Amino acid sequence: MSAKFLKETKDGTLLLVYVQPKAKKNEIEGIDEWRGRLKVKIKAPPVEGKANKELVKFLSKLLDAEVSILRGETGREKDLLVRLSAEEVKKRLGL
């Protein structure tokens, strides 16, 4: 399986995600093939950056790595920087 949602950079891995806020629980739902992004459900509402904070916290804990938002602060499609190799991100996501 090719991981179009992962792109190796000199600073780490670019992780392309599609976020669904106000979900029942925080979880990785799978790959949104149409968008070419990893679909992530987040409990927090998209108000005052709450969903962004929870997304970063959830993925940082899940991947055990530093995660930051590079693009998409106000939209559902976000580009995140993970301070790991693409191979390690895939392994830790179980893909």
pLDDT value of residue 6: 96
40-62 pLDDT tens trace: 999 999 999 999 999 999 999 99
Mean pLDDT (the chain, rounded): 95
In this structure, what are the phi and psi dihedrals at residue 61, rounded to the nearest 5 degrees? -70, -45
29: left (phi over 0), alpha (psi -120 to 50) or beta: alpha
Q: Which of 95, 93, 94, 55 is nearest to 74 (CA)?
A: 55
Burial call 43-71: b when 16+ CB within 10 Å, e when fewer:
ebebeeeebbebbbebbbebbebebebee
pLDDT at position 2: 57
User: How many C-beta neighbours within 10 Å does residue 30 have?
Assistant: 10
Class (C level, CATH) for 6-93: alpha beta
pTM for the whole thing?
0.94
The predicted structure's pLDDT at residue 46:
94
